[in-house]
């Protein structure tokens, strides 16, 4: 028993020793660093916000998408580069083949020139080789011919450009082809169309064959007379319309004095209203006709205008007049000469160089007054100081005067005949309409009897005297040179314009019409009134009309 127990004790101890040895000999489960990391992760998981985990997952997904997009863009760029490389390799091979053919052809020509006539055998061999080359490289030959043709065209264009530059330097106007009356002149601007003074405008015909071009440059001297002559020379090169005006003298449109041209045209029959939806009123003061071709001409209009803020009567602003929308459109035109209206025809307009300071100085006093008055037509309160400042701005070149060319493209005989017939009908009912018109006749109309007036409506001067218009616009928004202060009693009067003009030393020039003359006196404001925009300028006399002349008139028109 003792032996057995001892044996069992030995076995038990040996067994525990084995376990002890295995435990001691085996390495530890984890190091201290790993345990720290695990503890930190557990603490992070315990304290982590589920929303932050979701945000982190979303950020990871976004970053993954960005990586995918970048890889896709890289693959696309690689594909494009590969395509470009293949394309470049093909073109390089084509160029090398063409150069080789050119060298072969050049060497063959040299050999033929050196050897003279070759033997029949050599000729046969050369002919066979050339036939093979022609059959195999037919595409290359056609391309070579195309390249040669393009080179010839480029050289021709370069010569034409040199010729045009030479003509431009000389300041000449040259016709490159015959004039055709069916073509219309359009404008292409080298600079921006909104530029105030574009001296590099190029005029081309609008028939897409480019066989006629006029290059216009400023005269080298810059004198007013030279500029006007150059402008008239340009107008003289414009072709005349196929439909000419009647040979006899144009008959005037005798509008009764209480009414304006706009009032008259508003009552024409429906058959004529379709042709007169867009018309233009031209005035003698601001319009000039070409002496060589009286069908064409030009008129003057301000580039900038001053207007009053409708909410604040003392706040004024300057704005550029939009002329581009009114150009290059067929328009029925009426011309006022000596207070009488005439139908001029159908015209298209395009913009010429703006007036220079020397041309401004050469204008008549009446024309200056007309342009200045139109400049401030949208201003409610003016003073002699304002007129003086605007005059100085024009003289210094800060304010510009646009010169709009008038190209006659036809004469609508039906409109001309219909208007004359309507005049006769209107004269019969003049007394009836006059009795229905409040206010009676205006006593400031230009001329006497039944002649039309140069202005749009009556304007009350500072002393309550009625003053006729001075040749500014009339009609609605479709008519050019619109007088914005018609009948409002707040626009600048004749005395407002003449006072500062006379104080500047321009002088007062009288102009004679059919039955009236102009006699204007200067006004000298007091020291307290100078600069006060609410104080109107006093005037001593009124005028029955202004009929100054810009240019030499229009001949039979």
Distances from the Cα of 89 to the Cα of 81, 98, 193, 554, angstroms? 12, 14, 46, 70
Min mean pLDDT across 165-174, 443-452, 500-509 is at 443-452
**What are the angstrom distances between the C-alpha of 151 and each of 35, 163, 254?**
83, 19, 65
Cβ 337 vs Cβ 249: under 8 Å: no
Q: Give the whole-angstrom CA distance, residue 469 versus residue 5.
A: 147
Q: Which H or E run includes 405?
A: strand 401-410
List the structure tokens of 318.
């300057």
Give me 219's structure tokens: 């005269």
- Residue 291 near residue 554, CB atoms below 8 Å: no
Confidence of residue 164 (pLDDT cuts 50, 70, 90): confident
Distance CA(542)–CA(465), nearest Å, equals 7
| Residue whose tokens read 């050119």 | 102
Q: Which of 321, 312, 177 is nearest to 237 (CA)?
A: 177
- Residue range 43-74, pLDDT digits in tens: 777 776 767 777 778 888 999 999 999 999 99
Distance CA 48, CA 65 (A): 25
Length of the chain equals: 557
CA distance 201 to 188: 6
Q: For residue 317, is pLDDT > 60?
A: yes
Q: What is the pLDDT of residue 218?
A: 53
Is residue 451 scored above 50 in pLDDT? no
Output the pTM of the full model: 0.43
Among 320-329, 450-459, 545-554, the range of highest mean pLDDT: 320-329
* Digit-coded pLDDT (tens) for 221-267: 678 889 999 999 999 998 888 776 676 788 898 887 778 888 888 88
Q: Which residue has the tokens 């984890």?
A: 30
Compute the distance between CA of residue 235 and CA of residue 290 in angstroms, rounded to an integer. 7
Alpha helices (H) in 116-137, listed in sequence order: 120-136
464 neighbors 437 (Cβ within 8 angstroms):
no
Distance CA 107, CA 120 (A): 20
Give how far Cα 289 sits from Cα of 232, 355, 405, Å. Answer: 8, 16, 10
With contact defined as beta carbons under 8 Å apart, do 434 and 442 qualify?
no
Structure tokens of 10?
């030995």
Is the Cα dihedral 218, 223, 227, 233 positive or negative?
A: negative
Band the pLDDT of 498: cuts 50, 70, 90: very low
- List residues bridging with 203 in a β-sheet: 187, 214
pLDDT at 438: 53
Tell which wins on pLDDT, 232 or 523: 232
Percent of the chain scored above 70 by pLDDT?
55
Other residues' Cβ atoms within 10 Å of the Cβ of residue 412: 18
Q: Which tokens belong to 530?
A: 């100078």
In the predicted model, is pLDDT for residue 297 greater than 90?
yes
Q: pLDDT tens across 169-208, in order?
A: 665 433 443 333 333 343 333 333 333 343 344 343 343 3
Q: Which residue has the higher pLDDT, 460 or 394?
A: 394
135: left (phi over 0), alpha (psi -120 to 50) or beta: alpha
Q: What is the pLDDT of residue 35?
A: 86
- The pLDDT of residue 155 is 84
CA 288 to chain centre: 24
Q: Phi and psi for 342 in degrees, rounded to 5?
A: -130, 150
Q: Cα separation of 524 and 534, whole Å?
A: 16
How many Cα atoms occupy the beta-carbon half-sphere of 197 within 13 Å?
A: 10
- Name the residue among 306, 332, 330, 300 with its Cα closest to residue 319: 306
The pLDDT-based confidence of 530 (bands split at 50, 70, 90) is very low
Residue with tokens 């030995």: 10
Radius of gyration of the chain (CA): 45
Does residue 1 or residue 146 have the better pLDDT?
A: 146
Q: Quickly count: other Cβ atoms within 10 Å of residue 45's Cβ.
A: 9
Q: What count of Cα atoms within 13 Å lies in the side-chain half-sphere of residue 232?
A: 16
Burial class (CB in 10 A: 0-12, 13-18, 19+), 290: buried
**In this prediction, what percent of the chain has a pLDDT beyond 90?**
19
Do 403 and 502 contact (CB within 8 A), yes or no? no
354 near 402, Cβ under 8 Å? yes
Distances 359 to 232, 399, 403 between C-alpha atoms, Å: 14, 13, 11
Give the pLDDT score at 73: 92
Cβ-in-10-Å burial (0-12, 13-18, 19+) of 500 comes to: buried
Q: 313: which residues sit within 8 A by CB, 6+ positions away?
A: 380, 381
501 close to 493: Cβ distance less than 8 angstroms? no
Q: What is the model's pLDDT at position 17?
A: 52
Weakest-pLDDT range from 199-203, 240-244, 274-278, 388-392: 199-203
Bigger pLDDT: 130 vs 332: 332
Residue 338 has pLDDT above 60, yes or no: yes
DSSP secondary structure string, 315-374?
-EEEEE---GGGSSS-EEEEEEETTEEEEEEEEEEEE-PPPPHHHHHHS-HHHHHHHHHH
- The whole-chain average pLDDT of the chain stands at 67
Rounded Cα gap, residues 95 and 422, in angstroms: 77
Q: Are 242 and 184 in contact (CB under 8 A)?
A: no
* Strands of 113-260, DSSP E: 185-188, 202-205, 213-215
Quick one: tokens of 386? 């304002």
391 pLDDT tier (thresholds 50, 70, 90): very high
Integer Cα distance of 363 and 551 in angstroms: 10
Q: Torsion-angle region of residue 447: left (phi > 0), alpha (psi -120 to 50) or beta?
A: left
The pLDDT of residue 143 is above 90: no
DSSP reduced 3-state for 420: helix
Helix axes 50-115, 138-170, angle to 10 degrees: 90
């Amino acid at each position: 028993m003792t032996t057995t127990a001892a044996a069992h004790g030995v076995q038990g101890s040996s067994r525990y020793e084995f376990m002890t040895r295995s435990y001691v000999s085996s390495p530890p489960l984890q190091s201290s660093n790993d345990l720290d990391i695990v503890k930190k992760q557990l603490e992070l998981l315990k304290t982590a916000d589920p929303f932050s985990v979701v945000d982190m997952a979303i950020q990871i997904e976004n970053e993954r998408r960005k990586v995918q997009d970048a890889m896709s863009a890289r693959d696309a760029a690689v594909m494009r580069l590969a395509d470009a490389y293949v394309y470049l390799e093909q073109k390089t091979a084509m160029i090398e083949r063409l150069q080789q053919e050119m060298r072969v052809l050049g060497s063959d020509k040299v050999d033929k020139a050196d050897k003279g006539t070759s033997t029949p055998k050599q000729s046969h061999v050369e002919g066979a080789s050339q036939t093979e080359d022609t059959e195999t490289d037919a595409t290359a030959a056609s391309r070579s011919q195309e390249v040669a043709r393009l080179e010839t065209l480029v050289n021709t264009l370069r010569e034409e450009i040199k010729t045009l530059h030479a003509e431009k330097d000389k300041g000449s106007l040259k016709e490159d082809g015959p004039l055709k009356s069916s073509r219309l002149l359009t404008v292409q601007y080298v600079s921006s169309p909104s530029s105030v003074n574009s001296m590099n405008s190029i005029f081309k015909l609008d028939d897409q064959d480019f066989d006629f071009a006029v290059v216009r440059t400023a005269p080298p001297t810059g004198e007013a007379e030279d500029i006007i002559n150059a402008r008239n020379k340009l107008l003289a090169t414009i072709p005349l319309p196929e439909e000419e005006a009647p040979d006899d003298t144009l008959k005037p449109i005798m509008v009764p004095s209480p009414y304006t041209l706009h009032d008259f045209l508003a009552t024409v029959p429906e058959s004529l209203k379709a042709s007169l939806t867009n018309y233009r009123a031209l005035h003698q003061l601001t319009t000039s006709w070409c002496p060589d071709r009286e069908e064409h001409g030009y008129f003057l209009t301000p580039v900038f205008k001053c207007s009053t803020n409708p909410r604040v009567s003392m706040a004024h602003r300057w704005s550029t007049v939009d002329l581009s929308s009114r150009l290059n459109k067929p328009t029925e035109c009426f011309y006022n000469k000596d207070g009488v209206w005439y139908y001029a025809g159908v015209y298209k307009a395009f913009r010429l160089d703006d007036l220079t300071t020397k041309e401004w100085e050469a204008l008549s006093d009446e024309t200056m007054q007309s342009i200045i008055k139109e400049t401030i037509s949208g201003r409610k309160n003016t003073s002699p100081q304002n007129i003086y400042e605007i005059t100085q701005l024009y003289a210094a070149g800060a304010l510009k005067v646009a010169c709009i060319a008038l190209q006659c493209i036809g004469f609508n005989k039906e409109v001309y005949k219909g208007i004359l017939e309507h005049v006769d009908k209107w004269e019969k009912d003049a007394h009836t309409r006059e009795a229905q018109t409040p206010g009676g006749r205006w006593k400031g109309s230009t001329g006497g009897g039944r002649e039309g007036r140069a202005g749009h409506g009556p304007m009350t001067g500072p002393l309550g005297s009625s003053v006729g218009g001075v040749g500014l616009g009339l009609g609605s928004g479709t008519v050019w040179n619109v007088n914005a202060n018609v009948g409002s009693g707040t626009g600048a009067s004749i005395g407002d314009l003449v006072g500062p003009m006379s104080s500047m030393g321009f002088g007062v020039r009288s102009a004679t019409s059919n039955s009236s003359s102009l006699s204007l006196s200067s006004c000298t404001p007091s020291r307290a009134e100078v600069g006060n925009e609410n104080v109107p300028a006093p005037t001593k006399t009124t005028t029955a009309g202004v009929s100054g002349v810009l240019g030499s008139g229009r001949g039979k028109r």
